[in-house]
Amino acid sequence: MEQYGLSLYDSTQLTSSRSTADYFEQVAHDTSGEGARIAASFIVNDLVKILAGTEIEATPLSPENMRELVGLVSEGTINRNIARSLLPDMVLGHKAADLVQERGLAIVRDESALEQAVDEAIQANPKAVADYLGGKESAIAAFLGPIMKATRGQADANTTRELLKRKLDALREE
C-alpha cells in the first residue's frame, strides 16, 4: 500500500480482508497517487458503510465503475461530495458517468452560469460585503455557503472565489 501513498489507517482498513484489498487494487490500477487516495477514501469511509457487512465482491459496483467515479473526481468533473451522493445508486448497478449526466451534476466553471448566484449572495450579505471592503479578506467565506447551496454544490470553488473577488473589488471602486 506504500506505493499508493496511503495513510496507515487506510492501508489497514483496505487490507483487513483479501477481497477488499483485491477490490482496491483493481480500482487503483493505473491511477495516480491522488486517484488511489480518493479510491481508498471512498472504499474505507463510504462503500463499507453502504454495504453494511456485505462482502465487497457481492456488490454490483464493479472496480471499473468505481475507477470511473474516481476519475470524475480526479479530473474535476464532480467533487467528492457529489461523488459520495452517487455511491448508493452505483451499488445498485448504475454507472457514475450516466448518473452525473442524467442529474446534471457536473461542476460549474462557467462564470456566466455562476454570476446570478454570486450576485444574490452579495445582495443577501451586506455585513460580509462591508467586512470584505474594510479589508477582511476572510469575509469571502461568508458568500461561499449560499453560493454552493444555490448551485446544489456544483460551483467550482476557485472560479467562484475569483468571480466574488472581482465583483467585490468592483464595489470598492464605486
pLDDT at residue 1 greater than cutoff 70: no
Quick one: residue 53, left, alpha or beta (phi over 0 = left, psi -120 to 50 = alpha)?
A: left
The contacts of residue 142 (CB under 8 Å, 6+ apart) are: 125, 127, 128, 131
- Does residue 3 carry a pLDDT above 90? no
Where are the domain boundaries for CATH 1.10.10.410 in the chain? Answer: 111-173
H helix runs in 15-110, sequence order: 18-28, 33-41, 48-51, 63-74, 80-91, 96-103
Q: What band does 46 get if pLDDT is binned at 50, 70 and 90?
A: very high
pLDDT at residue 152, as a whole number: 86
- Work out the average pLDDT over 100-120: 92
pLDDT of amino acid 173:
77
The CATH code of the domain at 111-173 is: 1.10.10.410
Q: What is the structure's pLDDT at 32?
A: 66
Over the range 86-117, which residues count as b (16 or more CB within 10 Å of their CB) and which as e?
bbebbbeebbbbebbeeeebebbeeeeebeeb
pLDDT digits (tens, 9 = 90+) for 119-131: 999 999 999 999 9
pTM for this structure? 0.77
